[in-house]
Structure 1
């Protein structure tokens, strides 16, 4: 009888793992579909039915994971904020500012391009007052304060000029975000249908040099 019980326990454990994987996969599919739908229709115009259709899942499945459209929208915003924070993680006062800032600007630009819908949803939410981001901002401010202290430490160590850490971060966000949210405008002005990888890298290198030299980062 013991072998049978062990087999049963193993089967239950395996089923639990499989169920967890299916759950995570479904949530990611729903979040991606929601991002696409919110970008196209906005929060007011989007519906759970349209999101479910885009995800290729029954409407009931979406409601199983998210009670309402607002819950789903909040989850999308949380996912965006988590990705943002991950891009600038691991920064510490012992880092070389030039290398750290260059790495961050490159990562931020690539993140915005790889998650263009997320970037546009975030911008749209801000433009409309950021009401649904206020709770997220409370945690985000702690994260920003932590990164600002690292930049301030670089300044105190004489590694860079005494710039305002917050405004430095705002500048990086604004410039990198522009190339995604206004991508069609940039492409039109430079005379192309769309920006190539070389164009994006050239823009990234330009921003890196502008920020690093503007901060007076010591070589």
Structure 2
């Protein structure tokens, strides 16, 4: 394949370029490829997904798909990068805030919204972890750094008596587990609520209960 013809999936995340007559079709195809890749990877992981499956789901032939991408690994790694980018940027703490109740409540709501709105992206990450996480090795140092920044903020609240002493790292991991449950185990959650597998869920009661539970555990009055 000629590398000059390959299109990185990150083109979809870049600011929109000036419109040309051909660009809307190109953008639509790239969006279809991304959506197809997300579904295939979330269901089958990297090893279980073929470029033929992505092409079929996107409504393309395999040669057409390879005009836009170099291979499935390119798509997969950029989707992993997108997940970690969201966790760094979207779920960032306000470093200047001294109200742990407000900050943690907002963090939990954002994590829940991501789980409900983008469950397939969460499942891509989870499948990678279950497969051994080989493709995440280069991301762990930065992830630990971002997490440490949150830990430092929480430890600062504890030092100032704003919440009870606890292991800030474990607190964050517990929040991740409880919020990602609604993406990774959405089928089970609906079954326990007596809902069809594709039914919509009222997330507000979930958010209220989870926020109250976490804040109470932190010694914070909501």
Question: Fold conserved (TM > 0.5)?
Answer: yes
Q: Equivalent residue for 2:137?
A: 134
Question: In structure 1, what is the Cα distance between the partners aligned to 2:212 and 2:157?
Answer: 18
Counting matched residue pairs gives 203
Larger Rg: 1
Go from structure 1 to structure 2 and tell me whether the alpha carbon gap of 1:74 and 1:207 turns closer, same or farther (over 3 Å shift): same
Q: Equivalent residue for 1:164?
A: 167
- Contact 1:93/1:154 (<8 A) preserved: no
Q: Equivalent residue for 2:6?
A: none
Structural mapping, 1:33-44, within 5 Å: 33-44=36-47
Structural mapping, 1:1-219, within 5 Å: 17-18=18-19, 26-194=29-197, 196-198=200-202, 200-217=203-220
Q: Where do 5+ consecutive residues of structure 2 fail to align?
A: 1-16
- Contact 2:93/2:103 (<8 A) preserved: no
Deviations along 1:138-196, one digit per CA (max 9) or x if unpaired, are: 21111111111111111112111111111111000001111221122222223232564
SS for the counterpart of 1:45 is coil
Q: Equivalent residue for 2:11?
A: none
TM value normalised by structure 1: 0.81
TM value normalised by structure 2: 0.80
Question: In structure 1, what is the Cα distance between the partners aligned to 2:189 and 2:126?
Answer: 17
Question: In structure 2, what is the Cα distance between the partners aligned to 1:179 and 1:152?
Answer: 28
Q: Where do 5+ consecutive residues of structure 1 fail to align?
A: 1-15
Question: In structure 1, what is the Cα distance between the partners aligned to 2:139 and 2:67?
Answer: 24
Higher helix proportion (structure 1 or 2): 1
Question: In structure 2, what is the Cα distance between the partners aligned to 1:65 and 1:164?
Answer: 46
